[in-house]
Amino acid sequence: MEIMHQQSVNLEKWYRLGQMFYQGQRTAHDLIEAKKWFRKAAKFGHVEASRLAKSIEETELKVEQASSNVWYELGLFYLGGPRLHRDEGEAHKWFIKAAESGHEQAKSFLRQR
């Protein structure tokens, strides 16, 4: 019984730590730390911590996907931009970065080169 009570107390502590980092309360706003504490509480059954950890992970995925699109667009800019900006080496660098992030058009472009 005491072990279950202690576990419950720890769940709430971990969740509250996650909340502090998530909201930037008494500490810097830090989603990596928030996710770490939410995952720890979620592992032992804290439902809200699980939901928030998943929300952070989904946001990270969206940012990564958006970034790969931006990197691909930068590659296109340097490859086909005005002569003043044309730089195939720089274009290649951005296509590689986009491809490494899973951007299919960038992967296809690099295979054709």
Domain ranges of the chain: 2-112
Does the structure show a pLDDT above 80 at 84?
A: no
- Give this prediction's pTM: 0.62
What's the CA angle centered on 28, arms 26 and 32, to 5 degrees?
A: 120
Over 60: is that where the pLDDT of 1 sits? no
Query: Residue 14: enclosing H or E segment and its boundaries?
Result: helix 2-23
CA atoms within 13 A on the CB side of 37: 17
Residue 81's pLDDT band, with cuts at 50, 70 and 90, is low
Both tokens assigned to 35: 């996710």
Per-residue confidence (pLDDT) for residue 108, from 0 to 100: 93
Q: What percent of the chain has pLDDT over 70?
A: 88
Mean pLDDT of the chain: 86
Number of neighbours of residue 11 by Cβ within 10 angstroms? 18
